[in-house]
Amino acid sequence: MIVNLSLFLLVMTIIYVVLVLYMRNGWMRLPYFQPNPSYPLAKVTVIIAARNEEANIGRTLDCIVGQEFPRELLEVIVVDDHSTDETGNVVKGYADRGVHLITLNEGNKLNSYKKFAINKAIHASTGEIIVTTDADCRMGPRWLMNVVQYMQSQQKVMVSSPVCYDEEKSYFERLQTLEFLYLIGLGAAGIGNGNPTTCNGANLAYRKDLFFEMGGFNGIDQLASGDDELLLHKVAEKYADKIGFCKSKDAVVYTDAKENLKAFLNQRKRWASKSTKYKDKKVVVLGVCIWLFNLSLLVSVVLLLLGFTEARTLVIESLLMKMLVELAFLYPIVSFVDRKSLLWNLPLLTVIHSLYLVYIGIVGNIGKYDWKGRTVK
């Protein structure tokens, strides 16, 4: 048994190293984008689905209405998703700055409230381009200019852009920032390699006519999550070569890490729940390979701790290879967001990453989870 497990770990380690290096190549293939101030722009609708965000929504709206973007070409729609706080009233305070409020009154009959909210906003929008973000995000004044100009100048129908945690309050949140950059990097690298796999709805843009051409969220609307990633997969089936990643520091959207382990695991369960709806076999194979590598590594470490020392050298070498290849992958990404100091946390993250990935890979595909005070699936 130990010999078979060791052989399996060796094979999966090689596969993991090759996969991560392949993804690093995808990130490096993405060119840095430099906008042209004189480039003509299309009308844009920025959409935010918000629920109980009175503490955050004002700061986000300040960032959006303060964009260096032609005012006549910018529309902002906030959908208040059954908030029980003052979110709606905060948004109403921005009515004189072109922010429109839509208030949902659907009761408890839906499972995917966010998709419903975005769909409703898109139908009410007047922009040619839809840009989604979240109610707890911050962005620089040239965010929208970069995303939209990249989309138009590169003739893309969908554009994913970088998201990063900042303003961390604890070591746990700094660990999350490094891990989250790994995920954002994987999504960008997939696009760079011509195989879009994932994106983040906190910084996603697509043409409105594309949304309707794809049938909106039809076929993925039964799942609470997936307004970003599952929509990306629908688009990639037909237009993989027209999906881009805006690799620009000015295009980064900043948000907050989770304050405790329970909130972090619940978020990752929600993200992992989307994997049951993946249709692209390449995405499934990538996810399964990463999960199997971490499972074999975790089991080997446990056996080593229990006294089975036959594979000790291989386990140590696999951990070292995991850390080195992740360092090679993460270094250009943390450099891009000016957070190279986060790499000091990589040795610890290398170890606990396997435990959390195996756990999330199981629980994320079974049962329900809490999201914004609701229990959904």
Domains contained in the chain, CATH given: 2-26+281-372 (no CATH), 32-259 (3.90.550.10)
Classify 158 as helix, strand or coil: strand
Q: Are 187 and 199 in contact (CB under 8 A)?
A: yes
Q: How far apart are CA 281 and CA 212, in angstroms?
A: 25
Across-strand partners of 44? 74, 129
Q: What share of the chain is helix, strand, coil (3-state, %, to 5)?
A: 55, 15, 30
Percent of the chain clearing pLDDT 90 (strictly above): 64
Across-strand partners of 376? 369
Q: CA-CA-CA-CA torsion for 35, 185, 154, 283, nearest 10 degrees?
A: -170
Confidence (pLDDT) at 40: 82
Residue of 254 and 294 predicted with greater confidence: 254
pLDDT band at residue 108 under the 50/70/90 scheme: low
Q: How far apart are CA 195 and CA 240, in angstroms?
A: 7
- Cα separations in angstroms, 92 against 125, 126, 136, 213, 294: 18, 20, 17, 32, 48
Q: Is the dihedral of CA 2, 8, 10, 12 positive or negative?
A: negative
Whether 335 shows a pLDDT value over 70: the answer reads yes
Q: How far apart are CA 276 and CA 133, in angstroms?
A: 24
pLDDT band at residue 2 under the 50/70/90 scheme: low
- 124-136 per-position pLDDT tens digit: 999 999 999 999 9
Q: How far apart are CA 244 and CA 231, in angstroms?
A: 14
Residue of 299 and 312 predicted with greater confidence: 299
Return the closest-CA partner of residue 133 out of 257, 258, 268, 253: 253
Q: Are 52 and 81 in contact (CB under 8 A)?
A: no
Confidence (pLDDT) at 74: 96
**What is the mean predicted confidence (pLDDT) over 305-333?**
87
Q: Are 197 and 168 in contact (CB under 8 A)?
A: no
- 344-372 per-position pLDDT tens digit: 999 999 988 888 888 888 877 665 655 55
**What is the mean predicted confidence (pLDDT) over 79-90?**
92
* DSSP E strand boundaries for 37-188: 44-50, 74-80, 99-103, 129-133, 138-139, 158-160, 163-165
- 137-167 per-position pLDDT tens digit: 999 999 999 999 999 999 999 999 999 999 9
Whether 234 shows a pLDDT value over 90: the answer reads yes
**Among 69-83, 117-131, 170-184, 259-273, where is mean pLDDT lowest?**
259-273
**Among 233-247, 309-323, 329-343, where is mean pLDDT lowest?**
309-323
Q: Which residue has the tokens 């629908």?
A: 234
Return the closest-CA partner of residue 146 out of 162, 165, 157: 162
Q: How far apart are CA 304 and CA 306, in angstroms?
A: 5
pLDDT band at residue 249 under the 50/70/90 scheme: very high
Classify 374 as helix, strand or coil: strand
Q: Are 253 and 138 in contact (CB under 8 A)?
A: yes
Q: How far apart are CA 350 and CA 319, in angstroms?
A: 7
Return the closest-CA partner of residue 45 out of 94, 78, 68: 78
Return the closest-CA partner of residue 159 out of 131, 136, 184: 131
Q: Are 157 and 235 in contact (CB under 8 A)?
A: yes
Percent of the chain clearing pLDDT 70 (strictly above): 91
Residue of 307 and 20 predicted with greater confidence: 20
Q: How far apart are CA 131 and CA 185, in angstroms?
A: 20
**Among 29-33, 200-204, 274-278, where is mean pLDDT lowest?**
274-278
Whether 39 shows a pLDDT value over 90: the answer reads no
Q: Which of 103-112, 178-187, 292-301, 314-323 has the highest mean pLDDT?
A: 178-187
Q: Is the pTM of this model over 0.75?
A: yes
